[in-house]
Amino acid sequence: MQPDEMELARSQKGFMPDSEGEALHEAGLRAARSGLGPLLEIGTYCAKSALYLGFAARRHSAVLYSVDHHRGSEENQSGWEHHDPGLVDPATGRMDTLPEARRAVESAGLEGTVVLMVGESARIASAWATPLSLLFIDGGHGEAVAWADYRGWSRHVAGGALMAIHDVFPDPGDGGRPPYEIFCHAVQSGLWSTRDELSEGSLRVLERNGVPGRPAEKGSALGSSSPGASAGTCQS
Ligand SMILES: C[S@@+](CC[C@H](N)C(=O)[O-])C[C@H]1O[C@@H](n2cnc3c(N)ncnc32)[C@H](O)[C@@H]1O
């Protein structure tokens, strides 16, 4: 990563420690180089992770789609721990992170690389048909939303391509369960292999098993167990 790129990504508002952002960038480089398809992230917020991935995509002339409804997750709302009053639209009183994200992408010179997609993740997933070289899951961390993201998007990851999940905490004292549960579910489905050398902190990276480049069949990347079923035995 170029020093000016790193400086921009590090200083952008968001929820991505430097070391995890740099690991995400490395995974992004690998994906963009593979030519298996575009990269896609769920959870733009103010585009911090989009800069880490966007710089990687630009290096290899790939595209990053970044999905968010820009209304914030539960913990971003007024009165919650991660609320930022500077991100409230004064006209409506609602959270709106799109202007900040858009400014960040423009300042980074990434408008030709990063496509901001505004909407509910599951709704966009239901109409998506393009195989992905990398999927980054960092949207809502509640059970229903996290599982909807996994179910809606993981099937679009091409064979040999990557899926990164943020905020995977084996110890419940460190953070919420759903990202850990979907990570464990993927590991235990046998459809994914962990890529420990690309993982860092709470950022876990998996590679889709199967024929390189072939899109996963509908539903096939999901495995068969139910939400939460694998949480007690994974610990990876
Ligand atoms: C943890 S933040 C993402 C942080 C970001 N990746 C970064 O690097 O700073 C989660 C984001 O997911 C978005 N989000 C939550 N649920 C969503 C959903 N169902 N559809 C689309 N976006 C959602 C929120 O608006 C919020 O901006």
Q: Looking at the CA of residue 49, tell me the nearest atom of ligand 1.
A: 8
pLDDT for the residue numbered 235: 74
pLDDT tens-place string over residues 144-202: 999 999 999 999 999 999 999 999 999 999 988 999 999 999 999 999 999 999 999 99
Return the percent helix, strand and coil in the chain, to nearest 5: 40, 20, 45
> What are all long-range contacts of 15-19, with beta carbons under 8 Å and residues at least 24 apart?
15/45, 15/48, 15/82, 15/138, 16/48, 16/49, 16/52, 16/166, 17/201, 19/200, 19/201
Using pLDDT thresholds of 50, 70 and 90, give the confidence band for residue 220.
Answer: very low
Taking Cα atoms as reference points, which of 28, 17, 20 lies closest to residue 66?
A: 28
Residue 227 has pLDDT above 70, yes or no: no
In the chain, domain spans? 3-208
Average pLDDT over residues 212-234: 51
Residue 104 has pLDDT above 50, yes or no: yes
Q: Kindly state the DSSP code that residue 46 receives in the 8-state scheme.
A: T
pLDDT tens-place string over residues 18-48: 999 999 999 999 999 999 999 999 999 999 9
Whether 141 sits among the annotated catalytic residues: the reply is: yes
- 7 to 15, 46, 50, 116, 171: CA distances (angstroms): 15, 15, 14, 22, 31
Comparing 81-85, 140-144, 210-214, the range with the smallest average pLDDT is 210-214
Residue 226 has pLDDT above 70, yes or no: no
Using pLDDT thresholds of 50, 70 and 90, give the confidence band for residue 228.
Answer: very low
Rounded distance from Cα 71 to ligand 1 centre (Å): 8
pLDDT for the residue numbered 233: 73
Ligand 1 neighbours by CB, cut-off 6 Å: 14-16, 43, 45, 48-49, 67-73, 97, 120-121, 138-140, 145
pLDDT for the residue numbered 210: 85
Global confidence as pTM: 0.93
pLDDT for the residue numbered 8: 97
CATH superfamily of 3-208: Vaccinia Virus protein VP39 (3.40.50.150)
Rounded distance from Cα 44 to ligand 1 centre (Å): 6
